[in-house]
Structure 1
Amino acid sequence: MGAGQDEAVRVGITPAGTMSLVRSHHRDVLRRLEPVLPAGPAPACLHPGLVREATRTPTGDGADPARVAELVRALAGTGPVPPLEHLAPDGSSASPDWCAWGTGQLLADIRRTGGTGDADFGASDPAEGIAHLEAARETLRRVWPEAALETDLLIRAIVYVEGGAFRSATLRQTFGAVYLGASSVESTPAAFEALLHETGHHALYLRNFFVTYVTNGDVMISHPLRPDPRPVTGAVHAAHVLARMAHGLTRWAAEPTAPPEVTARRDDALRRLRGTIEALEPAAEWTAEGRRYFDDLLRWEKETIASGGRGN
């Protein structure tokens, strides 16, 4: 079993496993885009704009050659970890096409589940949120270097949006972008938690290249992260990101200078992780690899609690 396959059945992070997963995704996206890629070296990293072009149709043949060429030129010479982009879409033509599409998808989902009375997303001044996000990245590098590396390799852009109770999201079709609402960057601990949450979604998407965890993924259940009924596959995602959040917050909470908010968020993540596990236990029909993953999740929860998390 290769590094990527090993990583696919564990909750944790290893640099070799992360790199294997990233390379697999990179190859798949470039393969889809091959007919429209401009001549010259292929980009050394992916970008949500490229992923969006590759996923416009199931085979990738809906990609716009001019848009792909522009994105590839922008990535030339950046290496595998270009600077993180901070975007605040304003609905104008200046907003990147992939960003406008992504925020539109999120707004449609909010209206579908919450009603048409929800306000549209609006632009905001993201300066304070960016400061908290960058402070959170520095803290992550200090307390959990492997998670910081994973974030650097997977996340290309942060999209700051304003709109009602929206908190955060990741879309498979714009892989590499994280959409954050105001509450997710209102403090450095909030931004730290949001980074772990949304990078965790990205990491599990990559694991699904190698592994199918459940055979009844479309069965609807409720769990503490999303109380409205969602597919079992969504509950697996919830458990994965809550485990990552609880572990990272436990590491930070162990520092004497950690703000009290870190401990409170850690305890809440552990409580919701336990509730999500309890929802999965009677509902999920695991594959052999999925059972290995779930056993590792249970071990991860136990060790996180033992290392300082109280849980409730």
Structure 2
Amino acid sequence: MWEATRPSTDVDVERIADLIRTLGTSAVMPPLDHIVLGASPCPDWCQWGVQQLLADIRRTSGAGDADFGTPGMQKGIEHLEAARETLRRVWPEAALEADLLIRVIVYVQGGAFRSGTLRQTFGAIYLGTSSVESTPAAFEALLHETGHHALYLRNQFETFVTNGDAMVSHPLRPDPRPVAGAVHAAHVLARMAFGLTRWSREPTAPPEVSERRDDALRRLRGTIEALEPVADWTDRGRLYFDDLLTWEKELTAAHPG
């Protein structure tokens, strides 16, 4: 489902849009599962995923910031559900994509942890307390982590870069990371900026929405600038990246901030 990820021009957009409309009226999705680490039953896959996230934080931030605790998440869950309703209103294609791809939210508390997705636990996203401290924060996190899911799925069928293991720094992860990860960063930042832009057009949108939109756009531009001299694109990847560039220019022109 690429409609929510800005398809290239050779994709039959009308056919995809018609499929989305059909799914949106016929699919009955079960409710999301909410797992609060330490307070809800956490299956083996969940425990494994949390340990992977802890190991990554310890590598990049030190063990002192990596101790996950039990958050009081009732308000955070309310923000997440409000964010889902807002997404259905302002960007229904992305909301349907999230409903289809994301089935479990795992809430954790750790000083350095904001949010995460693991390919091995596809269908689950891990959210730290800062990612659900407000409805705009949860809205952004949902777009961010669903974006990783969508690109992981797409990369099963398409290769975008031939030097995915080359190292580069970018605004989402300033420590050197593989180019393939920087492509993910650009992808999710574009989604965040686009979704936040749509919400910011509503007169009732909180000021935080525009602030987050401007931050996402700034980091998107920085990530694109980091990728441009390094990434070795395939033909399909070049089309994808050109489309991403167009999207970034359109959003920046509308909000030069």
Tell me whether the two structures share a fold, i.e. TM-score over 0.5.
Answer: yes
Say whether residues 1:238 and 2:185 are aligned partners.
yes
For residue 31 of structure 2, what is the amino acid of its counterpart? P
**Is the Cα–Cα contact under 8 Å of residues 85 and 156 in structure 1 kept in the other structure?**
yes
Say whether residues 1:151 and 2:98 are aligned partners.
yes
Q: What residue in structure 1 maps to residue 163 of structure 2?
A: 216
TM-score by length of structure 2 reads 0.89
**Is the Cα–Cα contact under 8 Å of residues 15 and 149 in structure 1 kept in the other structure?**
no
Aligned residue pairs total 247
**Is the Cα–Cα contact under 8 Å of residues 124 and 160 in structure 1 kept in the other structure?**
yes
Say whether residues 1:273 and 2:228 are aligned partners.
no
Q: What residue in structure 2 maps to residue 41 of structure 1?
A: none
Which of 117, 126, 132 aligns to 2:64? It is 117
CA deviation after TM superposition for structure 1 residue 90, in Å = 1.1
Q: What residue in structure 1 maps to residue 32 of structure 2?
A: 84
Instruction: Tell me the distance in 2 between the aligned counterparts of 1:161 and 1:19.
Output: 38
Q: What residue in structure 1 maps to residue 255 of structure 2?
A: 309
Deviations 1:78-102 (A, max 9, x none): x76221011112188x321111111
Share of identical aligned residues, percent? 73
Q: What residue in structure 2 maps to residue 132 of structure 1?
A: 79
CA deviation after TM superposition for structure 1 residue 10, in Å = 4.1
Deviations 1:230-257 (A, max 9, x none): 0000000000000000000000001111
CA deviation after TM superposition for structure 1 residue 112, in Å = 1.5
Q: Secondary structure at the match of 1:117?
A: helix
**Is the Cα–Cα contact under 8 Å of residues 61 and 112 in structure 2 kept in the other structure?**
no
Q: What residue in structure 2 maps to residue 23 of structure 1?
A: none
Instruction: Tell me the distance in 1 between the aligned counterparts of 2:38 and 2:251.
Output: 41
Instruction: Tell me the distance in 1 between the aligned counterparts of 2:108 and 2:90.
Output: 28
Q: What residue in structure 1 maps to residue 245 of structure 2?
A: 298
Instruction: Tell me the distance in 1 between the aligned counterparts of 2:97 and 2:38.
Output: 29
Instruction: Tell me the distance in 2 between the aligned counterparts of 1:131 and 1:9.
Output: 32
**Is the Cα–Cα contact under 8 Å of residues 220 and 229 in structure 1 kept in the other structure?**
yes
> Bigger radius of gyration, 1 or 2?
1
CA deviation after TM superposition for structure 1 residue 126, in Å = 1.0
Q: What residue in structure 1 maps to residue 23 of structure 2?
A: none
For residue 36 of structure 2, what is the amino acid of its counterpart? A
CA deviation after TM superposition for structure 1 residue 192, in Å = 0.3
Q: How does 1:65-104 map to 2 (within 5 A)?
A: 81-90=29-38, 94-104=41-51
Distance 1:112 1:80, change over 3 A: farther
Instruction: Tell me the distance in 2 between the aligned counterparts of 1:171 and 1:17.
Output: 27
Structure 1 runs of 4+ with >3 Å offset: 7-12, 14-20
For residue 256 of structure 2, what is the amino acid of its counterpart? R
Q: What residue in structure 2 maps to residue 175 of structure 1?
A: 122
5+ residue gaps in structure 2?
Answer: 20-26
Instruction: Tell me the distance in 1 between the aligned counterparts of 2:45 and 2:166.
Output: 31
For residue 155 of structure 1, what is the amino acid of its counterpart? I
CA deviation after TM superposition for structure 1 residue 123, in Å = 1.4
5+ residue gaps in structure 1?
Answer: 21-78
Deviations 1:145-191 (A, max 9, x none): 00100000000011110011210000000001110001100000000
Distance 1:91 1:125, change over 3 A: closer
Distance 1:170 1:210, change over 3 A: same
Q: What residue in structure 2 maps to residue 200 of structure 1?
A: 147
Say whether residues 1:226 and 2:173 are aligned partners.
yes
Instruction: Tell me the distance in 2 between the aligned counterparts of 1:253 and 1:276.
Output: 23
Which of 127, 135, 138 aligns to 1:191? It is 138
RMSD, matched Cα: 2.5
Distance 1:108 1:17, change over 3 A: farther
Distance 1:254 1:125, change over 3 A: same
CA deviation after TM superposition for structure 1 residue 304, in Å = 2.2
